[in-house]
Chain A
Amino acid sequence: MMMLKRRWAKYLVTTLISPLLYLVAFGWGLGRGMSVSGTSYLEFVVPGIIALTAMTTSFNGAGTRLNTDRLYFKSFDECLMAPISLTSLLLGKAMIGVVRGLFSSTAFLIVATLIAPKFHVGPFFFISLLLTCFTFSFLGVLAALLAESHEDMATFSSLILLPMTFLGGTFFSVNQVPTALKIALYALPLTHSSICIRAAALGQPIPWESFLALAVFLLAFSLGSMAVLRKISV
């Protein structure tokens, strides 16, 4: 938070670049004139980009920061030696990602509502967004605790985040793909984030299966993080 207070303007600008590029390239460039299940492609893709932004910034906010603290600054030891419970420590490290994720995705949301004013931004939208930020923050924490180098984090991003970016229901509907591929895509947490946030934004029925799936991913990543943290601490 101290760093974000000092650098919020710079962070705001840099964090909006990717989603705006996706919006221009896919929303207007590729998707102009297209529709998906009766919705314009622009209105379809914007919630997906919000989910993607939340994923990326939450993961990097928590994971990259923790990786840097552990391996470069070596200041994570100070946290391990502080008289706080491992649960508090873990939650604190995840919250960095949650705050950054909410900040970035809300910033893009404001831009998006200017472009696609038919958005429904209600309680389920924010709950889904919050759940997304927590899920990917904890994934970031888990990756950072397991990584033994900065290269490991880059490898994780390439092997896990990058495929999710393009296959996680952001740019196309999962219903459009063959069944075998659909099953694989449903194994990705971003797919469920996109489904939930999109359903909320377009005023569609709440997709409880995806909401539950996302909650299960959150549980898995948080328990995994705790297990690794217990192993590396006394």
Chain B
Amino acid sequence: MIEILDLTKEYSGNKVVDGLDLRVEDGELFGFLGPNGAGKTTTIRILTTLTKPTSGHALINGFDVMKEPIRVKSQFGIVQQHLSLNRELTVRENLELHARLHHLSRAERKERIDELLEYVDMTGDADQLIDKISGGMKRRTMIARALIHRPKLLFLDEPTVGLDAQTRRRVWDLIRRMNSDGTTVFLTTHYIEEAEALCNRVGIVYRGKLISMGSPLNMRQKLGMITVETKDNGHTKYSYFPDREAASRFINELKVSDKVVMRQSNLEDVFVELTGQKVMEE
């Protein structure tokens, strides 16, 4: 579905995407996890023909993004990080405009728009101006818009940024539903719990480079499923163990009176071990 070969993007000598090699298969729910500025959005902009790479290749369903951009554009839908709806139009009008851009006939447009409004639970709000609806509803409208032309591939760039916890869960459910309906999803996020909750496979990206890849479970198993946090001169120290028994033995041997925390490892621990920094510190 997606093939990225030694992809690089440079701005004034600064490599924001650095030699990226990646393959995403049909039906996957793939996550690109990394802090702000890691190169996630730039990668998506290259894959969606908005930005030219400095070098390397990217193919969507076998079509090169540089050589066959119009064919590539009909292969995917995208929900961008920022709100990109026309705020002077209604929900329905935004979908109508997008459907026309994707060459749907009048009959197809009506049927598809009604179907998608129901899919994202926006039927009752279809004739509201975008400016009058909530952030979560805008995000759902953008998801519906991205699916107008029935793409088999969907890019989601930070799909839940700025949303409250309840709305975020609703969007997650929608993403899971789309993936189970057969849509390949490539999402970028800096939220650890989002990558862990949704993705079959995660690529951790840092300063333009892909530094690790695998399923969230495999990554945690490689690191150690259990994390023990201890304080050392005011700094928190992290130690990783394959299971609770090993972690408990370690704790019993500690000669400290400070608070010790034992918990499940997560992808943030993987990221910290690889980079020395937290995902949100950047």
Chain A residues with CB under 8 A of B82: 74
Contact of B87 with A by CB under 8 A: yes
State whether A234 and B85 are in contact (beta carbons under 8 Å apart), knowing that A81-B73, A83-B70, A83-B102 are contacts in the complex: no
| Docked-complex contact A73 and B84, CB < 8 angstroms | yes
Say if the beta carbon of A85 comes within 8 Å of chain B. yes
With both chains docked as a complex, state the minimum distance between the C-beta of A134 and any C-beta of chain B, in angstroms.
22
The verdict on A75 contacting chain B, using a C-beta distance below 8 Å, is yes
Find out whether the CB atom of B69 lies under 8 angstroms from the CB atom of A234: yes
CA distance A2 to B50 in the complex (A): 26
**Taking CB as reference atom, which chain B residue is nearest A88?**
B101
B65 touches A234 (CB 8 A): yes
Report the minimal beta-carbon distance from B200 to chain A, rounded to whole angstroms: 25
> Do B86 and A82 have beta carbons less than 8 Å apart?
no
Describe B's contact surface by its main secondary structure. Answer: loop
Residue of A69, A83, A85, A233 with most chain B CB atoms under a 10 A cut-off: A83
A78-B101, A82-B101, A83-B103 given; A3·B88 CB < 8 A = yes
A234 in complex: contacting residue of B52, B78, B96, B103, CB < 8 Å = B52
A73 touches B101 (CB 8 A): no
Q: How many residues of B contact A (CB 8 A)?
A: 30
Q: Is B215 an interface residue (CB 8 A)?
A: no
Is residue A77 within 8 Å, beta carbon to beta carbon, of the partner chain?
Answer: yes
Given known A-B contacts A2-B97, A81-B49, A81-B78, A69 and B70 have beta carbons under 8 A apart: no
| A residues in contact with B66, CB < 8 Å | 234
Total interface residues on A, CB under 8 Å, equals 17
Chain A residues, Cβ within 8 Å of B87? 73
Chain B residues near A2 (CB-CB < 8 A): 89, 93, 96-97
Are B49 and A73 touching (Cβ within 8 A)?
no
Task: Please tell me if the beta carbons of A79 and B84 are within 8 angstroms of each other in the complex.
Answer: no
Is A80 an interface position by the 8 A CB rule? Answer: yes
**B48, CB-defined interface residue at 8 Å:** yes
Interface string of B69-81 (1 = CB under 8 A from A): 1110110001010
| Cα(A233)–Cα(B48), bound, Å | 11
Given contacts A82-B73, A84-B70, contact A234 B51 (CB under 8 A): yes
The chain B residue sitting closest to A72, CB to CB, is: B87
Residue of A nearest to B75 (CB): A83
CB distance from B74 to the nearest CB of A (A): 4
Complex-state Cα separation, A77 to B98, whole angstroms: 12
| Chain B residues in 8 Å Cβ range of A84 | 70, 101
Q: Given A79-B101, A81-B49, A81-B78, A73–B93 Cβ distance below 8 Å?
A: no
B101: chain A residues within 8 A (beta carbon) = 78-79, 82-84
Residues of B within 8 A of A73 (CB): 83-87
Cβ contacts under 8 Å, B96 to chain A: 2
Q: Are B70 and A75 in contact (CB under 8 A)?
A: no
Beyond A3-B89, A83-B103, A85-B70, whether A77 also contacts B80 by CB under 8 A is yes
* Bound CA–CA A142/B276 (angstroms): 47
- Tell me if B51 and A74 are in contact (CB < 8 A): no
Residue of B80, B98, B101, B145 with most partner-chain A CB within 10 A: B101
* Selected contact of B84 from candidates A3, A75, A233, CB within 8 Å: A75
- Chain A stretch 70-113: residues in CB contact (< 8 A) with chain B: 73-75, 77-85
> B residues engaging A (CB < 8 A)?
48-52, 65-66, 69-71, 73-74, 78, 80, 82-89, 93, 96-98, 101-103, 145
Q: A74-B82, A74-B84, A82-B73 are in contact. List 13 more A-B contacts (CB 8 A).
A: A2-B93, A2-B97, A75-B84, A75-B86, A78-B145, A81-B73, A82-B98, A83-B102, A83-B103, A233-B49, A233-B69, A234-B66, A234-B69
29 CB < 8 A contacts A-B: A2-B97, A3-B88, A69-B86, A73-B86, A74-B80, A74-B82, A75-B85, A75-B86, A77-B80, A77-B84, A78-B84, A78-B101, A78-B145, A81-B48, A81-B50, A81-B73, A81-B78, A82-B73, A82-B101, A82-B102, A83-B71, A83-B73, A83-B74, A83-B103, A85-B70, A233-B69, A234-B52, A234-B66, A234-B69
Which 10 pairs between the two chains have the least Cβ-Cβ distance?
A82-B101, A83-B74, A83-B73, A234-B49, A234-B69, A75-B84, A74-B84, A2-B93, A75-B86, A83-B70
